[in-house]
Structure 1
C-alpha cells in the first residue's frame, strides 16, 4: 500500500540535498512553478545505480537540471513549429486530392478504408470536434444546411481535425486509392508503404510538444519505416534498430518532409544554435550522430 505523504517545497529540497543534489537559493522558486516529478525526468540520469536508492552522482547540481529542462522546453518549441508546417501540408493534400478523386464527403465513405471499425471511431472523434467547435464557418454551414444530415465537406471539417486524426485517416485508406500514393510521392516518401509510420511518429512527438512532455532522453514509442533509397537528400549514417527509439531519426523524418514543405528552412540552424546555447547538454541523449550537421539532409 502506498504510504507516502505530500512534501512541502522545503521538504522536497531537503530530500534532494540528502540524496546528494546540490541546490541553490533559486530551488524554492523553481519548485514552486515546476513540479517535482516533472523535473525528475531530467535528474534521473544524474542518479547512481541502483536507481531505486535515488542517490545522486558526485557534484550533481540542481542548476544543471534546470538547464536541461529549459533546453527541452525550447527544443519542443522548435520542433512544434516544424511539425505545424507538415501538418498543414498534409491536411491540404488530403482535402485537395481526395475531394477531387472521391468527392467532398469522401472521409465519411466507409468503403475507402481498410479497417472500417477504426474508421468509425475516427469519425466519432471528428463529430465530437465539430460539436465543440465555435468556428463561425462551421456554425454558419450547419445553420444554412440544417436539412443536410452529412457533416460539412472535407475542406471545412478537416480544418478542425488534429494531426493524429489526419494521420489515422491517411494510414487507413485502402491502398488502391490513387490519392494515397500521390500524397506520399509529393511528400518525397515514394509510396504509401512508408508514410503512415512517419506520420504516426510525428503525431506522437507533436502531442508531446503540445502537452509539454519531455523529449530529451525519451524512449519514443514510434518506429518510422526508413526508405532504402530516398529520392531527396537524406542521411548516410542511418541509425541502427536499437537507436530508433531516440529522437534523432524522428527529427530526420521531420527535416526530410520540411525540406519539401518549406525549402531552405532554418531547422538545422535552430537546432545547432540551441545546442550551442546549452553546451552541457549531451547530444547522445538525443541520438545525434557526431557529424550530423554535415549530412546531406541537414546541410540542405
Structure 2
C-alpha cells in the first residue's frame, strides 16, 4: 500500500539546516545557500546520494532505496558542489562531441540514402521490412507508422523555416531526404538509419569506424540516450545507462576499441565509459584533428577528491585507460592525413 507523500516545502535556510543535521559539513553557510538557490535541493541530492550511509538489504523500503538519510562522516557540501560542477563540465564536453557526430551522421544518411532514392524515407517498400514492421511493446502501431507520425509532426513544427517554406511553395509538401535530415531530431534520425536497407547502412558505417551497420545503429541509439540526458541537464557522471551500447566485436572495429570488444565485465556497459570511448573513437574517424580526447583526459584528471568515489569505479573507466591508444592525445599525420593513434 502506497504511503501518502507528507514531505513539506522547506525554505533554503531549512534545507541547509536539514543537511547539517544529517551530518553534511557546511563550512560557509552563505555559499551553501547560494548553491541551493542556483541548483536546487532535489537536483543536488543526486550528487550527495553516494555520500550517504548504505542500508543493509533488510532496511530498504524499495529496490531503489540503498541509503539512509544521514551522511558518512567527513563529507561536506563543498564536495557535493565540486561533483556537480565536474558533471556540468563532463556534460558540456560530451555534448560538444555529440554535435560533431550527429551532424556527420545526418550528412552521411542524406548522401548515401539520397543516392539510392531522394524520397527513400517516405517509401516504406524500399526500407527494411522487418525493422519497419516491429510493433513496440504496449503499442497498437508498428515502428515505422509511429516514426512517420513523428516525422509529420516535426515537419509541421519546422514549417516556418525559410528553406522548408521555399521548397513546399515551389515543389510541394514531399521533402527529399537531404532536407528531412535537417529538421528531424536525433532520435528520429537514429530510427531512420535503422530502417535503411542493410547495404546502405553498411555503406555508411565504415565512415564511423565500424564495418557492420547494425552495430552503428546500436551506437547511435546509445548516443541519442546520452544526448537526451545532457539536454535535460540530468546527472551523467555515474548514471545507470538504460539504452546500452552494443559490445563491438574485434572483426568490425579497429584496435582503438579492442578493449571494449574484449571486456568480460558486462556491468561496464551500464556505465558511461563505453559511450565516451565510442565518442572518442568515432571522432578519430570523422574529425581526427579534434582535440576532444585531450580535453576529456584532462577533465577526468580533475575529478574531485572525495573519499570512496573515483571515475574508474563509478564511470566504468578501465584501470589502465590512459595508456590505451584510444586516449593518446597527440595527432600524427601520414601522407598529409591525420590518422588514429593506434596505427602509429
Q: Which range, TM-score by smaller chain?
A: over 0.9
Using the alignment, how far apart are the partners of 1:121 and 1:172 within structure 2?
Answer: 13
Instruction: Show the counterpart of 1:297.
Output: 326
Instruction: Show the counterpart of 2:68.
Output: 53
Note the alpha carbon deviations across 1:123-170, whole angstroms, 9 max, x for none.
Answer: 22122122122321012212223xx342x2111121011111111111
What is the 5 A alignment of 1:227-246? 227-229=248-250, 230-238=252-260, 239=263, 240-246=265-271
Instruction: Show the counterpart of 1:188.
Output: 209
Instruction: Show the counterpart of 2:84.
Output: 69
Aligned equivalent of 1:277, options 290, 298, 302: 302
Is residue 2:45 matched to residue 1:43?
A: no
Report the count of equivalent residues: 294
More strand by share: 2
Using the alignment, how far apart are the partners of 1:79 and 1:149 within structure 2?
Answer: 36
Which segments of 5 or more consecutive residues in structure 2 lack a partner in the other structure? 56-65, 134-141, 329-340
RMSD: 1.7
Is residue 2:317 matched to residue 1:288?
A: yes
Instruction: Show the counterpart of 1:136.
Output: 162
Alpha-carbon distance change, 173 to 235 in structure 1, aligned in 2, over 3 angstroms: closer
Deviates more, 1:84-93 or 1:184-193: 184-193
Using the alignment, how far apart are the partners of 1:289 and 1:29 within structure 2?
Answer: 36
Aligned equivalent of 1:19, options 15, 19, 22: 22
Instruction: Show the counterpart of 2:243.
Output: 222
User: Which TM-score applies when normalising by structure 2?
Assistant: 0.81
Asked whether the equivalents of residues 12 and 36 of structure 2 are also in contact (C-alpha less than 8 Å), the reply is: yes
Higher relative contact order (CA 8 A, sep 6+): 1
Deviation at 1:9, TM superposition (A): 0.8
Deviation at 1:201, TM superposition (A): 0.5
Aligned equivalent of 1:106, options 116, 120, 138: 120
Aligned equivalent of 1:212, options 230, 233, 240: 233
User: Which TM-score applies when normalising by structure 1?
Assistant: 0.92
Using the alignment, how far apart are the partners of 1:231 and 1:58 within structure 2?
Answer: 46
Note the alpha carbon deviations across 1:85-126, whole angstroms, 9 max, x for none.
Answer: 11111111111111111x211111112133242112112212
Instruction: Show the counterpart of 1:92.
Output: 107
Using the alignment, how far apart are the partners of 1:9 and 1:217 within structure 2?
Answer: 27
Asked whether the equivalents of residues 268 and 293 of structure 1 are also in contact (C-alpha less than 8 Å), the reply is: no
Using the alignment, how far apart are the partners of 2:10 and 2:248 within structure 1?
Answer: 50
